[in-house]
Each structure stands twice: as C-alpha cells, then as structure tokens.
Structure 1
Amino acid sequence: MAASTSPVDLSAALVLEPVAALDWLVVLPVVWCISIGAILMMIRHRGMAQPLIAVLGLAVLVVLDAALLWHVVQSGPVTMVMGRWLPPFGIAFTVDLTGALFALTSAVVALIGAIAAIDDVNASGRRYGFYPFLMLLMAGVSGAFLTGDVFNLYVWFEVLLISSFGLLVLGSEREQIDGAVKYGFLNLVATTLFLITTGYLYGIFGTLNMADIARKAPGLQMAAPLVTLTGLYILAFSMKAAAFPVNFWLPASYHTPRIVVSALFAGLLTKVGIYALIRIGVMLFPAEREQLSLVLAIVAALTMLTGSLGALAQSDTRRLLGYLVVSGIGAMLAGIAVGGPEAIGGVIFYAMHSMLVMTALYLAAGVAARLGGGFSLSAAGGIYRHHLLFTALSLMLFFSVSGLPPFSGFWPKVMLVKAAIDGGVSWLAAILLLSGFLTTIATGRVFLLAYWRPVEAQTAAKPEPLAFTALLPLLCLTALSIIIGIFPETLMNLVQQAAATLNEPSAYLNSVFPAGGTP
C-alpha cells in the first residue's frame, strides 16, 4: 500500500506556537539549580570555590524567581508543557501568584543560608557535599512550588527529601544519625501514603494534571469518594508539615545537624507541606476540605498548643525553636481550616514570614551558642554586655515570631484571627492569640536567660567581635521582617490576589486550557 502523502494535523496533540521568551522563567529555576548543583559536585574537592559559586548561583536564582513573580503579576498564571504535548498529556509546569511567592521567598532563604554556611560549614562539610545538596534541595523545593502535576509534586518532594537526608547526616555524628532515622522513618511513611493516594487519584480522574482535576472534581462529587481522597492527602501532607499528632519527628531531628542546616529545614521543608495542602485542599477539592474543616481546625488548635507549650518546656534553644516551627504550622493549618480568600491570604503571608523569621532564629541560636558556650539556657547568659547589635537583632526576631508589631509576624496573625472570627470559629481565633501569648513567654524566657541574665566572668559571653558572615544573614532577614511589618500593603495585596486565584481558579485553568480547550 502506498504511504499517505496527506499532511498530519498536529494541532490537536502538540503546542505548535513558539514559547514566549518570558515563559521560560517557569522552568529556569529548576534547571538552574540542577545545573549549578552538578557543577559543584564536579568541583567538590575545591573547597574555596564552593561557597562562592553557590552564593552567586543562588543570587541568580533570586533574580529568576523575582522576574517570574513580576511576569505572573503582569500576565496572570503561566504554563509550559513538557515535550510540547497539550495538557493533560504533557507534564505541565504552571505558576500562579501562590507558587511564585513561595518560590521567591525560598530562594531568598537559601541565599541567606549559603552566606551563613561560609562561617558554619567547615572544609569537611564542603568536601562531602553541603553546597551540591543545597542546590539539589532548592531544585526540589522550586519544582514543588512550580509544578502543575500532582505526580510531579510527589517527584519534587522526593528530590528535596533525598537532598535533606544528605544535609541531615553531614558530619556523621551519633546524634545526627539518630535524628536522621526519626526524620527518615516518618517521611517514608508520609511519602508512601502520598504515592498510594496519588494512584487512587489517577484511578478516579484518569489524569494527574491539577487544572484538569480542578475542573472535573465538581462533577464527580456524588460519584467518587473525594472526601476520603482529600482526607488521605491531608494526612500525608500533615505528616510532612509536622502537624499534630505526627509532629514528634521535627523537634526530635531538627536540633541534630549543623545550625545552618536546621535553619534551612525550618525555613523551607515544612512550608512545602503547607503549600501542598493549600494546592490540594483549596484549589482542587474545596468542597471536600470544607467538609473536613472541623477536623482540620481541631488538628490546628492541638498543633499550636503542642508547639507553644513544648517550647515553654525546653532548656535547649534548638529544641525550643523546633517546637516554635510546629506552633507556626498550627497557625497556618487554622487558616486552611477556616478557608476563604482572607484566611488563605493569611496562610500564604504567614508562611512567607515563617520562612524568613524561623531561618533567622536558628541562625541567631547558632551565634548565641558560639558566644555563650552552648545551646543550654541554664549555662548561657551575658550576651548583651559585649554584643548589643546581635542582642537587638535577636530581640526583634523574638517579637516577630510572637506576632508583635511592627514586625512581619503581626499582619498574618491579624488576618488569620479576623478570618476565624468572621468565619464563626471564635474559639480558633482565641487559640491563635493564646499560642502567640505563649510564644512570647517562651522567647522572652530565652532572651532573659541567654542574653540579659548576668553570669560569672569565667562563663560570660565572649567579647570578641562577630564575623561579618555571621551578622550579615541576621541583618538581612531582620530588615526584611521590619520592612514587611511597617510596609505590608504590597505583600498583603499580592497574597490576597493569590488567595483569590486559588479560591476561584479560572485564570489558572485558562492558562492550562486556553479558551476552554479540551484535553
């Protein structure tokens, strides 16, 4: 039989138009992180070059994510599909305001962490891969925030988890191995549950594209067990975010690695779990999340109280900060439980604030331990006598994490409390305020014991000046917290727009399926 010479119409299967130059920003953060990580791996024996390349690479990542945020603000959600296949068959990267804001904040945190690591990570840590692991971690974090496909969300979770295991055990001390076992076991359970649930999702919808799921879900509410599906996702992501009652792994592991690693983990990892909860519960299955809102609210309240009371009971600053991370997760879960644009906007705002401030607090704890001779509150003291600037920075960070004005923690707490009251769950608003009060007591206790309390001359804080690389990260992060607290309007407008897009995702869907196109 003669071969047909008639032309093949590819328009029904492939994207035929050339990709706009700015749209490449959607995938560049991931490609850039993997590329820089590969270069760092190849020169891992050149310890002096590692931090310079990593800091420059992460500075470029901040620029790329800032440009991506600007592009999304100007143009709305942006989609690229792998291999030019039309969605839902091609794997989509879709970025809206929520993903762009999370990606930019995570890049800033990673850059600050890389600068702090110059002073904290020794030659052995560089040789055994701190900076390549950091870049791989950022590839996973960036991919999770930018993907538009549920299975690829799982893949990027795995990428960041693999790199986090490497960072956690870097140094191979006994305490680190113990922390890694606890961290690894629960994350293995959560990841397995995530994968099983994703298979369940595919069996129901026949697709893993988020936009396709969002537009099909309303028609399947009576025909498929979507509440069960949503509940399984909430459980899996709550494990990863360290929500009650599966939060014990975080304070049992975050105090074990080098302090810069703890800072990066506190700023980044649990927030990916919160982002996934927002994406699944708010955009894909809002009706099912509403049915589970009471359970979520109870979990949020118990998470906040567990974190705040746990912080009060600690005498080690690293463990105390781990419980403060847990308490912040509870506040974000409270916003997800309440729902609505104002509450979800508060969750996004709170997550960005927590990324910056919790990273700074861990770095400050490392500096305080170096000056005071350890992390124990019973042995520390007298830091303010010789280090007034560092003491002032630490005090401002304590105020910020407690939700006090005029710092970045104040405004998202106000948004969440107001949303809870307007939503008819005043008891949850009361627990938000109580948690903030308990956090203030816990951080005030740290300040009084480790900074203000006079001690004997032989155990007082060391009077030598701090290295610039130790102070610079704290100066930058504290300045960001102050600027956001005093001038919150721009960020508040952005998070409210992001929340509105999640609650009414038509712009997101139109980005993936233009003009109501069919798969």
Structure 2
Amino acid sequence: MAGPSISVDLSAAMQTAPVQLADWLVVAPSILTIVGGMLCLMSRKNTALAPKLGLFFLGLLVINNVLLLAEVLKRGVITMVMGNWLPPFGIAFTVDALGATLALVAAIVAFAAGLYASITIDSSGKRYGFYPFLLLMMTGVNGAFLTGDVFNLYVWFEVLLISSYGLLVLGNDRIQLDGTVKYGILNLIGTNLFLIATGLLYGQLGTLNMADITMKVQESGVSGPLMTIAVLYFLAFAMKAAAFPVNFWLPSSYHTPRIVVAAVFAGLLTKVGIYALLRTLVMLMPAARTELAEVIAWVAALTMLTGVIGALAQSDVRRLLGYLVISGIGSMLAGIAMGSVLALSGTVFYTVHSILVMTALYMAAGLMAAMAGSYDLRRLGGLYGASPVLAGVFLVLALAVAGLPPFSGFWPKVMLVDAALTLGWNWLAASILVTGFLTSLAVGRVWIYAFWRGGPEGTVDGGSVSLPGGGVLVAGAGGRSTAAVWVPIGILTTLIVLFGLQPEWMMEVSSRGASGLVDPVGYLRSVFGGGA
C-alpha cells in the first residue's frame, strides 16, 4: 500500500526559479576554454588547424566577457550557483565589476597572445600543445576572477599553474627546465600556504563562500586566528604576485620560455595574485588588512624599488622586463595598503594597465630580438633604421610603463599618489614617484641602446648595420615572414593610448570595483538576496 505523498519545500535550500539566459555568461568562460582546449588537443598534430581553433575560442571568450561586463555594469553583481543549491551550500560563481573587468582584459591579452603565437611559435610548439595549454590556463585565470568560493579559487589557481608548467617547458631547452623548476618550487610553497590558510578559515568559520565569510567576519570582528589566516593569505598571494622578499623566482624563470609565453605570464599570472589579495584582505577580512596596512605598505615600497633597481642593472631585455613586472606589483600593493576607495581604484586601474603594457612590451622585445638576433643590449642597435614603427611603438610602451602622460600608466599613478598624500603617507607617495623616475631611466636606456644608437657595441655609431632578421619577424616554421605579428601589438598599444587619452570610463569601472570591495552590500545581496 502506498504511503501518503509528502510535499517538500526546496526553496530554502535550492534555487527554484529558472536561470536567466544572461546568467550563463558567468560560467561560459570556463566552458568555452575547456571545450576549446580539448578540441585543440585532439587536433594538435594538425599544426595548421590548431591555431585557428585556438583563436576561434579565444575570440568567443573576448565576446562573452564583453557581454558579461556590460551585464554587470547594467544589473550589478551577478551570482550563479552550481547544481541550483543556494549559498553557502552550493559553489557560487559571483561576478562584480572588478572580476568582470579583469576577466575581459585577460581575454583580450590571451587572444593577442594566440595571434602572436600563430606567427612566432614553430610547428613543434604547436604540435606539443601551445594552444591547449593557453586555453586551459585561461580556464584557471577566468575561474579565479569569477568564483565566489575561496576553495574554488584554490582549484582555479591549480588549473592555471598546471597549464603554465606546460607552457614553460614548451621547447624542452635546458634553460627552460631550469626556469620551470624554480617557478614550480616557489609556486608549490605558495599554493600550500594558500591551502593551509583556507583549511584554517573553514575550521574557524565553517564556510568557504566569500559572501558568507564576509558576513561572519563582520559579526565576529578581528581575532588571533583570523589575523594568522590573513597573514598566511598575504604571504601566499604575495609570493604568487612576486612581491618583496619572495620575488626572486620571477626574474629567474620569466626569461626562459618562448617570448609569447613570457608575455602572457608577465601580463596575467602575477595579477591573479593581486586580485586574490584584493578579494581576501580587502573584502573578506578588512579589519585584518587595516592591522597589516603598514607592513603591506613597506612591502609595496620595497617591491617597487628593488624591482626598478634590478631593471637598471640588467643588460638582457627579458630580465629587465621581468624586474619591471615586479616593480609594478609594488604599485598595486600600495593601493591595497592604503585601503581607501581612491587608492583601491588606482590599484584596479594600474592592474589593467600593467596587464596590457607588460604583455605588449614582451611582444615588442620579441620583435627586437627577431630583427637583431639577440636580447642582449650590448648586441642591439640600429633598430630605428630597420623599423621606425617599432621604435615609435616601443617608445609609447616605455612612456606608459614609466607612468608618463598621455598614456594609461599616468592616471593610476596619479590616483595612488593622490590617495597617499590625502592619507598622510607621504613617504609612500615619494616611493611611487621615485620608482616612476627610475623606470623612465631603465626603459629609456633600452630605447637609446636598441633604437637610437647606430649599431651594437663595438661598431661605429651611426654606421650601416646588417640585421640578422632583415627587419621582419621570421617564424620558426618554414622561415615565413609576415606583418600579422603587428596586429596583437597594435591592439594592446591602442588600448594603452586610449586609456591614457580617455581615462574616464576606466576610472568609473575601477571605482565601481573598488567600492564593491570596501562596501560589499551589492555582493552580499546578489548571493543571499535582498535581505542580506
């Protein structure tokens, strides 16, 4: 005999309303990159098809992230929960202005890198997985920017790191294996610290949902265990972002892979560490960040200065750019140390700027080496005569990375200095300005040596110089030369100039992202509803 039917109300634990079509934009980046990476892996032996597939899915990723950012700016924070389980039971993807902006810029950089690699990566590199690794790395990068769960953030870090190891060793040169070992050991330590801190956080609060953590930390206030967790998170993410004094791994590894791989790494990977610091210290544990503010400020200043001094000491362009990546991380940390909306807006804007300019600089360095046959400043010279366009582009990028007008690096520097002076942190403002001046010297030295003087060291300055590359980029596959390699550099440089001449939109988006960190009421309401 059948028993009485029982009606169960699932609305308290599960999402029962249909999901809006636009909400699928939140998880589409993971789906697109995983499917694209799988198809590129299946077709990797067809070295003509793999780049086309990779660029197709990277192009779809850019389009998706444009629509996602537009939707976030129109509707506010968007949350989608796996399996329809309501937070904190289900794993949430929660996208605010900060995450959507960084996801879009990352997608643009990845598309530019895929286009650059279609010309510069030889058939062996394509066969052994450049495009599958790139797409799967973007799975991790986008997942980190869009997740609303701390443990999920750890998982996406693992995805991007595993893919990055494959990109580092692509080519199997001895120097690449050496760089990969250094990169892997330091990131393994940082990842373990991240996991330990996450386990302690769960033991302390009983939740890993970011919105739930934010509310519970606000209720409980600062405690000894939470301060310990905050310190562990700061150390783990500072190591991944290459902050002082745990930054020695970056210049030891970023000069070893193919130049397009180094460009993607310089643009994206350290910025994921900065994003994680913004999310954990500023939004989840703001009181702990306040306690650590002076320590973070000193780390920021030392990161800026040691990075730019290291750049001044280099004769290899790739190593020099690696130190400039470190120096830029210091500027971003300065905004986190200050913690005001203006300072954090400067950090967000500077992060976008650094992603674009560092990627473009590495790509330009690849062109320089293709023309002159070397990355050594002592063997560079006469490039202005070989390519006035490259000389002009490199000058624009040099001025931008130094924070000089009228390019994208100027405005976030102004915002950071303004915030420091407003809060009375005059010494931190001075550190930012001194770093900008020294950066001008470092990149100016590269431009003078490589472009302005007439030939390499030991030749008559101003004399006729024969360049091994013939003034064009020569691909490894079949010795093809093409102007298409200029397209990705042109895309990135155009954005750098545009954000410099018309910074208002980027300032507004950065301010919305920063305000959402300082006052996360919109984030909480998106996850838990209007009563949060």
Identify the TM-score tier after normalising by the shorter chain: over 0.9
**Alpha-carbon shift at residue 222 of structure 1 (Å):** 5.0
In the other structure, the counterpart of 2:77 is: 77
- Residue in structure 2 matched with residue 500 of structure 1 by the alignment: 515
Measure how far apart 1:6 and its partner are.
Answer: 2.2
Q: How does 1:42-191 map to 2 (within 5 A)?
A: 42-191=42-191
Shift of 1:465: 4.2
Counterpart-to-counterpart distance in 2, 1:282 and 1:222: 14
Residue 223 of structure 1, CA deviation: 5.1
Distance in 2, Cα, partners of 1:448 & 1:483? 26
- Output one character per residue of 1:418-445: Cα deviation in whole Å (capped at 9) or x when no partner: 1111111110000000001000000000
The alignment covers a number of residue pairs equal to 517
Note if contact 1:301-1:428 (Cα within 8 Å) is conserved in structure 2: yes
Q: Which amino acid aligns with 1:53?
A: L
Change in Cα spacing, 1:501 to 1:168, as seen in structure 2 (3 Å) is same
- 2:234 touches 2:277 (CA, 8 Å); kept in 1? yes
State how far apart, in whole Å, the 2-side matches of 1:3 and 1:360 are: 69
- Counterparts of residues 290-305 of structure 1 (less than 5 Å): 290-305=290-305
Structure 1 residue 463 displacement after superposition: 4.2
Residue number in structure 2 paired with 1:27: 27
Report the CA distance between 1:451 and its aligned residue. 1.1
Indicate conservation of the 8 Å contact 1:139/1:160, yes or no.
yes
Q: Which runs of 5+ in 1 are unaligned?
A: none
SS in structure 2 opposite 1:516?
coil
In the TM superposition, what is the alpha-carbon distance from 1:214 to its structure 2 partner?
Answer: 0.3
Aligned residue in 1 for 2:279: 279
Give how far 1:472 is off.
1.3
* Cα displacement string for residues 23-51 of structure 1 (whole angstroms, at most 9, x for unaligned residues): 11110011111011011111111100111
2-structure distance, mates of 1:438, 1:489: 28
Q: How does 1:207-222 map to 2 (within 5 A)?
A: 207-222=207-222
Across the aligned residues of Structure 1 and Structure 2, the Cα RMSD in angstroms comes to 1.2
- Structure-1 separation of matches of 2:388 and 2:53: 33
Q: CA deviation at 1:460?
A: 4.6
Matches of 1:136 and 1:30, distance apart in 2: 9
Residue identity opposite 2:246 in structure 1 = V
Is the Cα–Cα contact under 8 Å of residues 239 and 247 in structure 2 kept in the other structure? yes
1:252 aligns with 2:252: yes
State the Cα deviation string for residues 239-291 of structure 1 (Å, max 9, x = none).
00000000000000000000000000001100000000000111111111011
Residue 488 of structure 1 is matched in structure 2 by 503
**Conservation of the 8 A alpha-carbon contact between 1:382 and 1:461:** no
CA distance in 2 between counterparts of 1:10 and 1:472 reads: 52
Identify the residue that residue 427 of structure 2 maps to in structure 1: 427
Identity %: 56
The aligned amino acid for 1:169 is V
Q: Hey, what's the Cα distance between the residues in 2 that align with 1:350 and 1:434?
A: 17
Report the AA paired with residue 523 of structure 2.
Answer: Y
Q: CA deviation at 1:218?
A: 1.7
Alpha-carbon shift at residue 459 of structure 1 (Å) = 5.1
Instruction: Provide the rounded CA distance (Å) in 1 between the counterparts of 2:63 and 2:467.
Output: 42
Q: Which residue of 1 aligns with 2:7?
A: 7
Shift of 1:516: 2.2
2:485 to 462, 467, 470: 470
**SS of alignment partner, residue 93 of structure 1:** strand
Q: CA offset at residue 119 of structure 1?
A: 1.4
The one-letter amino acid paired with 1:177 is L
Aligned partner of residue 468 in structure 1, secondary structure? coil
Aligned residue for 2:134, secondary structure, equals helix
Paired letter, 2:511: Q
Report how far residue 224 of structure 1 moved.
Answer: 5.3
Q: TM-score, normalised by structure 1?
A: 0.98
Alpha-carbon offset, residue 226 of structure 1: 1.4
Mapped contact 2:454–2:465 kept (Cα < 8 A): no
What are the superposed Cα offsets for residues 457-490 of structure 1, whole Å, 9 maximum, x if unpaired?
A: 4555754445212211111111111011000011
* C-alpha distance in structure 1 between counterparts of 2:413 and 2:255, whole Å: 26
In the alignment, is residue 375 of structure 1 matched against residue 390 of structure 2? Answer: no
C-alpha separation in 1, matches of 2:439 and 2:58: 32
8 Å CA contact 2:374, 2:380 repeated in 1: yes
Q: CA deviation at 1:196?
A: 0.6
Q: Could you list the per-position Cα deviations for residues 184-228 of structure 1 after superposition, in whole angstroms to 9, with x for gaps in the alignment? A: 000000000000110000001100000000011022225552111
Superposition deviation, residue 57 in structure 1: 1.0
**Paired residues of 2:408 and 2:500 also in contact (CA < 8 A):** yes
Cα contact 2:293–2:338 (8 A) shared by 1: yes
Normalised by the length of structure 2, the TM-score is 0.96
| Separation (CA, whole Å) in 1 of partners of 2:409 and 2:338 | 19
**Separation in 2, partners of 1:223, 1:205:** 12
Work out whether residues 311 and 319 of structure 2, in 8 Å CA contact, stay in contact via their aligned partners in 1.
yes
Residue of structure 1 equivalent to 2:231: 231
CA distance in 1, matches of 2:300, 2:466: 41
Structure 2 runs not aligned, ≥5 long: 474-481
> Could you tell me how far 1:8 is from its partner in structure 2?
1.1
Q: CA deviation at 1:373?
A: 1.6
AA at the equivalent of 2:287:
A
Change (3 A) 1:253 1:222: closer
In structure 2, C-alpha distance between the alignment counterparts of 1:214 and 1:385, rounded to whole Å:
57
8 Å Cα contact 1:204-1:224 kept in structure 2: no
Does the Cα contact within 8 Å between 1:241 and 1:269 map onto a contact in 2? yes
Per the alignment, residue 337 of structure 1 pairs with: 337
